[in-house]
Structure 1
Amino acid sequence: MTGAWLLVGGLVLLVVLGSYLLGTANRLDRLHVRTDAAWAALDAALARRAVVARAVSGCLAPDPADQLRVLAERAERADRADREAAENALTRQIALVDRRELPLALAAELTDAEHRLLIARRVHGDAVRDTLAQRRRRVVRWFKLAGFAPSPGYLDIAEPEPGAVPRPRPSARVVLVDDDGRVLLFHGHDPADPAERFWFTAGGGVEPGEDLRAAAVRELAEETGLVVAPERLQGPIWRRRVAFTHDGVAYDGEEWFFLLRVGGGEPISTAGFTEGETRFIDGHRWWSAAELSAERPTHYPVELADRLRELAEQDWRPGPLRVVR
């Protein structure tokens, strides 16, 4: 009788152990599948960055363009053993690119490619970490539950320092001019540096999928209360490329300016300000070109006084877009 109980106990133990080993093996198999999927996503993100890097090389001077193109092609062709070194060489070369010299759409594409690569790398790293931790367990090693599956490895790619890569920001702005040739400017400061105070035109960032004219009309209504038909805006008349920081975030900005003439005494309402705008905008007033030249307040665009005089001397006509500072 005792022997029978021992046999039953042994069978139960074998069933429990077998179930445990099977569950562990299945978990390890799922981790390997997860790691393979994460590598595929990482490989795709690396390939996309290489494609964008080649596109960027077309906007550079010959020497840096050749270096970037060669490194991008080398990273694409590298085998797994050499991939890490090739990708890091490409990362270092991309870091040397002055993104302010690129078209904003291409700069945004490059930043997006880098952001997606960063996410893919971290997802892959987490998958590798969890898989290796499971493979190191004694039960996995003793019973060889990993089978012939190769051990996954990390791909260590240098990441840009936080804030080192400016965030692309297209903006639509409105040069709002009254019958006396004065322009409406808002007064504000950088929330991260309240001592840095300046004047600027109405307008703001373009939302995803929004065209410039629609963004200008929307921003004008939010900031001044003036609701106008898009066709009333003239232009864009100016374009300004600027690198700046706001509230601790670095931006690569491209501003497109439209012209709108309004009658004198047009009421201005700031009731539509967003929460962020109420934090850093503390006033507004109408400025003439003469006042801007005489009082010399910090204002953007820097050339605004001279450009206002040009608008006063003659009506704006469609033609080459003027680049302003």
Structure 2
Amino acid sequence: MTVLLVALVVVLVAALSVWLAATANRLDRLHVRTDAAWAALDAALARRAVVARAVAAAIRLDDVSADRLRAEAERAESALREEREGAENRLSLQLAGIDRAKLPLALTAELLDAEHRVVIARRVHNDAVRDTLTQRRRRLVRWLKLAGTAPSPEYFEIVEPSLSDSASAPLPRPSARVLLFDTERRVLLFNGHDPVRPETKFWFTVGGGVEPGEDLRSAALRELAEETGVKLGDDGLVGPVWRRRVAFSFDGRTYDGEEWFFVADLADPVHVDTSGFTELEARTVDGHRWWSVEELRATEDTVYPVQLSHLLPEVMTKKWDGTVRTVR
């Protein structure tokens, strides 16, 4: 019996060792794939910047517009990795406003090709990041630290041009958002997806678009009530404490977003009531939970704003001085 037990333990240890080795090798290949995908995306973005500068030189723009396009292209080329999304989005906005009918035919074709390559490279890169993060998030992988010292890859979130109508500009979308804290000083986030890319999940704060004629504070209070059931008065919000400018795509439409963030602290525990969701929200929001700062810092999930875990402590511990901080 003892011999049989020892043999069984040996078999189990051998099987576990094989699984660990295979998983580590798979993780290594996934990281290599992600690095290669980023290199390809970086090259595609660099080419688009070069073409953008050629467009600025070739088209009959007023001097200010030409200089702005050229400047954004140069900023995108030299931006650090953590600043790259914002720089590339600003370049996308400039390119979206170009009247391509005024461009030489060959340059129009080159610009369209460059944009196609960026779209393809970005999707390949984000697919690689998704597969890598899926593997890294497995419990045994995290517990045994099988990913080693490899940094966690990040999605590259820039708006994709409408390639069927490259001249169409993103739709402006002002929105009011709320950093809602519970009695344990945790922030409420929703988890959702883009209906065009349902496999890509992300976490985001309470809030939504500002309706015509509505001020930011009223919009924040309305969105808070509709999405959570929490009803506050005007004095229940502090801010806006942050402003975030972001270009993004959702449900096949591109947007030039301007987000304003308020802070709300709950004095008592609440039950989050999402019965006020719109039809689109009901289809695309998959759940919600309260997050501590420590949990946000530890997660490998995609969270917006991307600086949330780093900026929350200041909001939680310091009295607002009336300054609106720009975040990303």
Category of TM-score, reference length = shorter chain: 0.5 to 0.7
String of CA shifts for 1:4-27, please: whole Å, max 9, x gaps.
xxxxxxxxxxxxxxxxxxxxxxxx
8 Å Cα contact 1:180/1:264 also seen in 2: no
- Residue 314 of structure 1 corresponds to 318
Identity of aligned pairs, percent? 50
Structure 1: distance between partners of 2:262 and 2:245: 15
String of CA shifts for 1:144-174, please: whole Å, max 9, x gaps.
xxxxxxxxxxxxxxxx953641111111000
Amino acid at match of 1:301: P
Structure 1: distance between partners of 2:234 and 2:204: 21
Structure 1: unaligned runs, 5 residues or longer: 1-62, 73-89, 115-159
- Residue 324 of structure 1 corresponds to 327
Structure 2: distance between partners of 1:96 and 1:211: 35
TM-superposed CA distance for 1:315, in Å, is 2.6
- Residue 173 of structure 1 corresponds to 177
C-alpha change, 1:290 and 1:70, in structure 2 (3 Å) is closer
String of CA shifts for 1:258-288, please: whole Å, max 9, x gaps.
0111134222100000001001001000000
Amino acid at match of 1:291: E
1:69 pairs with one of 39, 59, 62: 62
C-alpha change, 1:71 and 1:290, in structure 2 (3 Å) is closer
Structure 1: distance between partners of 2:316 and 2:260: 20
Residue 201 of structure 1 aligns to a residue in which SS? strand
String of CA shifts for 1:206-231, please: whole Å, max 9, x gaps.
11111111111111111001111123
Residue 254 of structure 1 aligns to a residue in which SS? strand
TM-superposed CA distance for 1:199, in Å, is 0.4
Residue 249 of structure 2 aligns to a residue in which SS? strand
- Residue 270 of structure 1 corresponds to 274
Structure 2: distance between partners of 1:185 and 1:301: 11
- Residue 225 of structure 1 corresponds to 229
Structure 2: distance between partners of 1:268 and 1:277: 15
Instruction: Please say if 1:216 is aligned against 2:220.
Output: yes
Pairwise mapping of residues 6-17 of structure 1 onto structure 2 (< 5 A)? none
TM-superposed CA distance for 1:316, in Å, is 2.4
Pairwise mapping of residues 39-78 of structure 1 onto structure 2 (< 5 A)? 68-69=61-62
Structure (1 or 2) with the larger CA radius of gyration: 1
Residue 288 of structure 2 aligns to a residue in which SS? strand
Structure 1: distance between partners of 2:228 and 2:208: 12
Runs (4+) of structure 1 moved beyond 3 Å? 67-72, 93-98
TM-score (norm 1): 0.52
2:243 pairs with one of 235, 239, 242: 239
TM-superposed CA distance for 1:71, in Å, is 9.7
Amino acid at match of 2:193: H
Structure 1: distance between partners of 2:321 and 2:280: 35
8 Å Cα contact 1:236/1:256 also seen in 2: yes
Structure 1: distance between partners of 2:172 and 2:71: 14
TM-superposed CA distance for 1:296, in Å, is 2.8
Structure 2: distance between partners of 1:322 and 1:281: 28
TM-superposed CA distance for 1:307, in Å, is 1.3
Residue 306 of structure 1 aligns to a residue in which SS? helix
What CA RMSD, in Å, does the superposition of the two structures yield over aligned residues?
A: 3.5
Aligned length: 192
Residue 272 of structure 1 aligns to a residue in which SS? coil
- Residue 205 of structure 2 corresponds to 201
- Residue 252 of structure 2 corresponds to 248
C-alpha change, 1:190 and 1:231, in structure 2 (3 Å) is same
Amino acid at match of 1:303: Q
8 Å Cα contact 1:170/1:205 also seen in 2: yes
Structure 1: distance between partners of 2:70 and 2:170: 13
Instruction: Please say if 1:162 is aligned against 2:165.
Output: yes
8 Å Cα contact 2:190/2:285 also seen in 1: yes
Residue 62 of structure 2 aligns to a residue in which SS? helix
TM-score (norm 2): 0.52
String of CA shifts for 1:194-214, please: whole Å, max 9, x gaps.
011000000001111111111
TM-superposed CA distance for 1:248, in Å, is 0.8
Residue 213 of structure 2 aligns to a residue in which SS? coil
TM-superposed CA distance for 1:309, in Å, is 1.2
- Residue 302 of structure 1 corresponds to 306
Amino acid at match of 2:239: G
